[in-house]
Each structure stands twice: as C-alpha cells, then as structure tokens.
Amino acid sequence: MAAATRATRLIFFISGIGMAGWAPMVPYAKARLGLDDAGLGLVLLALGGGSMVSMPLMGWLSHRYGNRRVIVVAGLLLSLALPMLAIVPNTPMLVAALLYFGVALGALNVSMNAHAVEVERRDGRALMSGFHALFSIGGLVGAASMSVLLALGLPLLACAMAISVVQVLVVISQRERFLSEVVDAGEHAAVLRMPQGLVLLLGLLCFISFLAEGSMLDWGAVLLREVHGFAAASAGMGYACFSVAMAAGRFVGDRVIQRLGSVWAVRAGASTAAVGFVLATMAPWPVLSLLGFVLVGLGASNIVPVMFSAAGRLPGTSPAIAIATVTTLGYAGLLSGPAFIGLLAHASSLPTALVVVAGLLLLVAMAANIVRR
C-alpha cells in the first residue's frame, strides 16, 4: 500500500499545482483579450461550470472503468490546459479553454478522491486529510512557481509548459502504482439512480464548508480593508493566514482524526471555524481579526476530507458516484458563496453576512454524527 499511498499524494499535489498555476495567468489573459472586470468575471464562471458538469459523469466512469484509468487520462488532459490558456487568441476560445480546464479538474478531483477512499480503506488508517494537505501545498507551490517564472521574464507559454511537463512526468511515473481494482460497495446497486438520503446530506454539509472557504477567498480582503482598516496592499494577509492554517491543519488532521474520531473532528473543526468567523468580523483589534482567519483555516481544514471519506464508505452506494455527488454540491457552495455573501451584505452588512456563515458552520457541528453512519 505504500506505493499507492505515495502515488495518491503526488496526484493530489500536482492537481493543486495545476489549478493554482492559472491564478497568476489571469491578469495576462485579461490584458491580452481586453476584458473589463465584469467580462472577466463572467468568463471565469466557465471554469467552475466545467467542473460541475463533469463531476457526476466522472463518478459513473470511475465506477465503470476504475479510478486508475480515469486518474491517468484526466491527469494527462489537465496537463494541456495551462498551455492552451496561455495562447488563446479571443474570448470565445478562452471560455472554451476554461470549460476544458474545469472538466479535466472535475474528472481528476472525483477519481483521485475515490481512489484515496479506497487507499484509506485498505490501509486501515485515516489518510484523507494528509492527501488534501498535499493539494493545498500544491496550490501554494503552483501559484508561487508560476509567479517566480514570470518574474524571471520567461514567456507565459514557457511558464505554462514547465508546469505541464511536471504534471505529465508525475502521472506517467505513477500510473502503475494506482490501485487497479476498486472494491466497490455499489457494484450490484443501480448505479445510475439519483443519489439520495445520507449522500445528499453529506453533500449539503460540504456545500456549507466550501461556502465558508469561498467566503474567505472572495470577501476576506474586503473585510480587512473596509471594516478593520487594513491598507489595500496588506488586505490579502487574511487569506494568507487562512491558507497556511488550513494546510497545517490538514497535515496533522489524520492524527487528530485517529485520536478524536471522525465525529469529534468535524464537531470541533466546525465549531472552531465558526468562532473564527465571529472573531474575524467582530474583533476590536486588527491583529485579533487575523487570528480569526487562522481559526477558520484550522477548523475547516479537516471537515471536507472527513466528509469525502464518509461518502466513500456508505453501504450500497458506489464510492465514486457518492463522492461525485458530494463534490458537485460542495463546488456549488464554492461558486455560489461570493454571490450569497454579497446579497446578505447588501441587505445588512458584510460582518453580519459572515456571522450567518458562522451559524451555518454550527449546523455542520450539530450534524457531525452523520460521518459515523
């Protein structure tokens, strides 16, 4: 199992690299195609839309053909995305490339998480948080590497190709180490029936967790700038604190889950994240508000990994299809989060809107017993 575990860690790592490598490329695409802020915002919806469309289908493909095949194909397809995005000549082509990028990311996300559930099951230990920690680290490495290469004056296409080569090398070198057979709990179930019951409830809890993460990404800097008086140049410190804390929480998460159990890990994590939201919004001192961002990152770090593991263990349900359902609902929360917070903030205030998110996280804590079932 050591080889399969290592391969799973590496595929999570390069998935994070591939996704985050796009972030430093966005201003280049905006300038090259002459997009304004509104136009860019609409175009970027294609990335999330592609992922959400592909995930349910990829759950069925992983169930039908095995996770290894889908991981290898999706990983190779993903490696083509950044070079494509570096050279698209017009806005329709950018939309098409982002849809492709989203589909490849969604396919890899579902298959690698379903594979991770099987690796964790066979190993007999909690491993999922560690896998997701590598995804977070990959995100930091991808964004930083692309930024450094661009700062050195390399052409955008060359920078994208460098990341692409790393992705291809990892996928090809690890392809034989992924598990070739998956013990599928839903092998004799009606695979194409609509997911229901516990799967949908897990998906709803993931929706809330992803919504909380999206709130930090899209509204954290605005909160620090407009409510706590941070300078524009330093308003991004909140999300940086959140990201580092989340990565750190996931690195120790497997040991926490082994010691406390899944239920208490979710309960304590969601409660900690809720306290963090309240502190980030209501703290009287700016430094204390940054502590709130740290608590949100630590608290939220292991909720989604535990939910994915629980989805993959549900009896009578294909792990791949259950994870596809939960992931799709989670991404819906990530995508709709900015709009949801914006509407609440418009009707009341931004601190009030973020306190509502804290209340939703308390609902996750109250429903934590679901991961035991």
Residue 179 lies in a domain: no
Is residue 150 located within the same domain as residue 206?
no
Instruction: Return d(Cα 251, Cα 368) in angstroms, integer.
Output: 21
pLDDT for the residue 185: 42
In a domain, 181, yes or no: no
Between 74 and 346, where is the model more confident? 74
Which stretch of 28-42, 112-126, 133-147, 262-276 has the lowest confidence by average pLDDT? 28-42
Identify whether residues 169 and 217 lie together within a single domain.
no
pLDDT at 166: 94
Q: pLDDT higher for 44 or 210?
A: 210
Of 111, 140, 174, at which residue does a domain stop?
174
**304 is a domain residue:** yes
> 137 and 7: one domain?
yes
* pTM (2 d.p.): 0.81
Contacts of 326 (CB under 8 A, 6+ apart): 199, 202, 203, 206, 307, 308, 311
95 CB neighbour count, 10 Å cutoff: 19
Q: Distance between the two ends of the chain, CA-based, in angstroms?
A: 26
Within 10 Å of residue 193's Cβ, how many Cβ atoms?
10
pLDDT tens for each residue of 47-66: 888 888 888 888 778 877 88
Q: How many CB atoms within 10 Å of residue 198? A: 17
What average pLDDT does the chain have? 85
**CA–CA distances in Å: residue 162 to residues 21, 68, 80, 144, 152:** 11, 25, 11, 13, 13
How much is the pLDDT for 283?
86
Assess whether 116 and 42 both reside in one domain.
yes
191 lies in a domain?
no
Domains identified in the chain, total number: 2
Average pLDDT score over residue span 67-93: 93
In eight-state DSSP terms, residue 168 is H
Tokens of 209: 């967790």
Question: What radius of gyration, in Å, describes the C-alpha atoms of the chain?
Answer: 20
Query: Quick one: pLDDT at residue 151?
Result: 85
Mean pLDDT of the 246-262 span: 89
Shared domain check, 102 and 24: yes
Domain span at residue 328 reads 198-371
| 152 & 220 share domain | no
DSSP, collapsed to helix, strand or coil, labels residue 357 as helix
Residues 119 and 156 in one domain: yes
d(CA 265, CA 286) in angstroms, rounded, equals 29
For residue 4, the SS3 value is: helix
- What average pLDDT does the segment 237-251 reach? 86
Q: For residue 311, is it within any domain?
A: yes
List the structure tokens of 47.
């990335």
121 neighbors 105 (Cβ within 8 angstroms)? no
Q: Which two tokens stand for residue 83?
A: 């070079």
Distance CA 295, CA 276 (A): 5
For residues 218 and 38, what is the distance between their CA atoms, to the nearest angstrom? 15
Pick from 174, 209, 232: which residue ends a domain?
174
CA 63 to centroid of chain Cα atoms? 22
pLDDT digits (tens, 9 = 90+) for 304-344: 999 888 887 777 777 778 888 888 888 788 777 767 888 88
The answer to whether residue 188 is domain-embedded is no
Higher pLDDT, 129 or 332: 129
**219 vs 153, 238, 267, 280, CA distance in Å?**
32, 10, 25, 11
Lowest mean pLDDT among 67-76, 154-163, 229-238, 308-317: 229-238
* Residue 18 located in a structural domain: yes
What's the CATH code of the domain at 60?
A: 1.20.1250.20
Q: Where are the beta strands (DSSP E) in the chain?
A: none
Residues 147 and 219 in one domain: no
The Cβ of residue 237 has, within 10 Å, a number of other Cβ atoms equal to 18
Is there a contact between 354 and 270 (Cβ–Cβ < 8 Å)?
no
Higher pLDDT, 275 or 136: 275
Give per-residue pLDDT as tens, 152-201: 999 999 999 999 999 999 999 999 899 876 544 444 444 444 455 788 88
Helix, strand, coil: what percent of the chain each, to 5? 80, 0, 20
Output the pLDDT for position 191.
47
Kindly state whether residues 99 and 141 are assigned to the same domain: yes
Structure confidence at residue 183 (pLDDT) = 47
- Both tokens assigned to 213: 């993460």
151 lies in the same domain as 247: no
Last residue of a domain, one of 158, 174, 190: 174
Angle ∠(292,296,302) on CA atoms, nearest 5 = 155
Q: 285 and 224: one domain?
A: yes
- What's the rounded mean pLDDT across residues 125-129? 87
Does the pLDDT value for residue 225 go beyond 50?
Answer: yes
Same domain, 49 and 162: yes
Would 344 be classed as within a structural domain? yes
